[in-house]
Chain A
Amino acid sequence: MSPADDARATVFARIRAALGVASLDRARRAAVARRLERHPRGTIPARAKQSREACVTLLTEMLSAQGADLRRVHTPKEAVGAIASYLGTCNLPPRLRMGKDPMLATLPWREAWDIERSFGPAGPGDRASLSRAVVAAAETGTLFLVSGIDNPTTLNFLPEAHTVLIAASDIVGSYEEAWDRLRAIYGQGSLPRTVNLISGPSRTADIEQTIVRGAHGPRRLHVLILG
């Protein structure tokens, strides 16, 4: 056996000795397989069990309280306008870094002809980025972003202003519903490389418990709810 196999065997032997179990106990194996297969839900807070519209309101309230800037837009055209004016408000040049997300690609970008878009992961020079959240959970105002060519993970962390678009129909109440959405896309038991749950702009309270926004990640989180 290699040293790595030895180490593994040591740890498992210690655990089984402490628990007083044998490795081939059928009942235990069945219990574990069943739980992984059925992934039972715990208690879902009442606040997460509301109508879609109430969930949109709750998401808005929670994200605002956590320091995000929010706007509800009703058309793709309005969304593009909101992105352009936000960059202006933040005194940022009209440049956006983004991925190849199909929903973002179909926005009427000609309405904001002065915004220069570039595609791919973020680098140190990118000051503003745009992503789409695949789903959002209202209970804590949390956006779910997944890695991939459509929405590279670095867009979520390197630029100083991050805009996230979420379709109102992708807003659910609880994390449990959000997980089921991801299972429907990626299959049970699989996740993309990175799932980022984002609930506000980056912050720290390490110094004297004083909250400072804009720690290592974006100083501003701009959320557009479409629909």
Chain B
Amino acid sequence: MKGGRGMAKGSQDFKTGVTAALADAALQKALQNVKRGFVVKREAAKAKLPEFDTLREEARAIKDHTLSHLDLYLEAYERKVTESGGEVHYAPGAAEARAIVLKLCKEAGAKLVTKGKSMVSEEIGLNTPLQAAKIEVVETDLGEYIVQLRGERPSHIIAPVIHLTKEAIEADFRRAHQRLPRERRLDQAQYLMAEARTLLREKFLAADVGITGANLLIAETGSSVIVTNEGNGDLTSTLPRMHIVIASIEKIVPTLEDATTILRLLARSATGQEITTYTTFATGPRRDGDADGPAAYHVVLLDNGRSEMLGNEFADMLRCIRCGACLNHCPVYGAIGGHAYGSIYPGPMGAVLTPQLVGIDHARDLPNASSFCGRCEEVCPMDIPLPDMMRAWRERDFARGNPPLSERLLLRLWAYAAKRPGLYHALASTVALYMARRAGARGRLSRLPLLKAWMKARDLPAPQGKTFHKLYARGQRGKRR
């Protein structure tokens, strides 16, 4: 796997990535599955729960309350984890988090580490230092396993291989599992899953340490919660001698009831299930008299920019529960997939979070890759104003002088005119007239000076000769009569 995974690619890379994604026929075919699956299923699940919108308001209030008391809930949580025999470690940044996990794995004498799916682990690039220390690291979620075989990153926060067709995965399995008979069938998802199940069983049973993420942390009980369908997270957290949970600080909620309200929204928003097959609450290591479970339990709490967000205009983003609904409903994500973003977190939530993680100078294209259609905010179960926050990043980007000179000049010209209504109306009338003339009887424009590149894939309907202001003024006069 590649190192330095926290970094987004530069601007040129983003544009190249988009162009490549749009031209990639297999990717375009695979992306159709997002709409057929997630979007339709979420709609159906929401329709079956009349209380959905009420729960959404309550969930928002729970998170807002928790975040405004975050220090105290973390203290309460830590106390409970310690009471139950576990240990909490704080990591101000990604490097500290990696160092803590590596140290724990070494202390446990780990040769083999199994992992449940964790975006925080992706965020901090956890696998690389473990592998450098000669520890075998195996991703066990089917999607993550495939991504690991390919040396890629997940392209979606809950469906890591949504960018792949089953034919591509078959090819990966044939390449990676050469000991198996060549004539075996792998042309259906079920055969691919069965093969992964058999191979990963050995890993689950031999693992020394299991690392999972957490969808929620509960202050009342000191529990970490994982939400899964495959059962790999549970084999990871139950079989090895040590269970390490890695989670960011904003995952905390006060009580089991609060967790319940959020769980009622999570699966429905993510996969359109009423609830995932497995929702697991882990609290400390195995108890006296327990027949199984890990002997040691550690939680690594990652800050990595979250505490800064608490106090800035991106605080609402900390309510995010990583359901992926904003990705699934985003026309930009739907067109280019997750990899083109070049960041760990793609789509609208990624466009807001990534600049915080890597700096706006390194991620300025992400908040700009949006048409502001507003679907993301509409479907967000935590009511996060994603478009507003993307706009806030654009403002910061502009203030730092990042946009190219031509863009900045045009914006300044526009601002100059917009502040002078007489000039603005005169200019608008002239341009409208020019465009109407130029379009002629066809009523459409396929080329305009200064906008050559933008018009390459678009036609513009021509103005009807009068500006909106003039039509509006006329309407008002009509009303008065």
What is the interface of chain A, defined by CB distance below 8 A to chain B? 4, 7-8, 10-12, 14-21, 23, 28-29, 31-32, 35-36, 39-43, 45-46, 62, 66, 99, 120-121, 124, 139-142, 147-149, 152-154, 156-158, 175-176, 179, 189-210, 212, 214-218
Contacts and interface: CB of A to CB of B under 8 A. Distances in A.
24 contacts: A7-B96, A14-B92, A19-B311, A45-B264, A153-B234, A153-B292, A175-B260, A179-B260, A189-B80, A193-B286, A194-B237, A194-B293, A195-B280, A198-B278, A204-B142, A206-B159, A207-B169, A207-B192, A209-B33, A214-B194, A215-B193, A216-B201, A216-B231, A216-B235
B335 interface: no
Given A212-B193, A217-B235, 13 more contacts: A7-B89, A10-B92, A15-B249, A20-B311, A42-B257, A139-B274, A152-B290, A179-B260, A198-B278, A206-B146, A207-B161, A209-B159, A210-B188
Interface in B315-359: none
B428 interface: no
B109 interface: no
B256 interface: yes
Nearest to B92: A10
Shortest beta-carbon contacts, A-B, top 9:
A217-B231, A18-B311, A209-B37, A215-B230, A14-B307, A152-B291, A18-B310, A206-B143, A42-B261
A10 B307 CA distance: 10
Interface string B275-290: 1111111111111011
B72 to A, nearest CB: 4
B74 interface: yes
Contacts of A195: 223, 280-281, 283
B140 A11 contact: no
Contact of B201 (A35, A124, A175, A209): A124
A216 B263 CA distance: 22
Given A149-B290, A157-B238, A19 B264 contact: no
A165 to B, nearest CB: 18
B47 to A, nearest CB: 13
Nearest to B232: A216
A53 B394 CA distance: 56
Contact of B282 (A23, A36, A156, A194): A194
Nearest to B297: A193
B190 interface: yes
Contacts of B285: 193
Interface stretch (B51-59, B124-132, B447-455): B51-59
B50 interface: yes
Contact of A216 (B51, B72, B197, B275): B197
A32 to B, nearest CB: 4
A147 B84 CA distance: 14
B193 A148 contact: no
A185 to B, nearest CB: 13
Given A15-B310, A32-B69, A204-B193, A42 B258 contact: yes
Given A11-B303, A194-B282, A215-B230, A148 B51 contact: no
B307 A191 contact: no
Interface residues of B, number: 106
A149 B289 contact: yes
B256 A179 contact: yes
B71 interface: yes
A42 B194 CA distance: 41
Given A66-B277, A176-B260, A153 B238 contact: yes
Q: Which among B50, B69, B140 has the greatest number of chain A C-beta atoms within 10 A?
A: B69
B416 interface: no
A43 B301 CA distance: 30
Contact of A12 (B74, B231, B261, B290): B74
Q: Which among A12, A62, A175, A207 has the greatest number of chain B C-beta atoms within 10 A?
A: A207
Contact of B274 (A28, A35, A140): A140
Given A140-B274, A206-B159, A36 B255 contact: yes
Given A15-B307, A35-B255, A215-B193, A28 B69 contact: yes
Contacts of B239: 154
A203 B70 contact: no
B257 A39 contact: yes
B291 A148 contact: yes
B229 interface: yes
Contacts of B188: 210
Nearest to B160: A206
Contacts of B74: 12, 15
B369 interface: no
A20 to B, nearest CB: 7
Nearest to B280: A196
B366 to A, nearest CB: 23
Contacts of B68: 19
B396 interface: no
Interface in B218-235: 219-221, 223, 229-232, 234-235
Q: Which among B271, B280, B289 has the greatest number of chain A C-beta atoms within 10 A?
A: B280
A193 B96 contact: no
B200 interface: yes
A118 to B, nearest CB: 12
A29 B229 contact: no
B469 interface: no
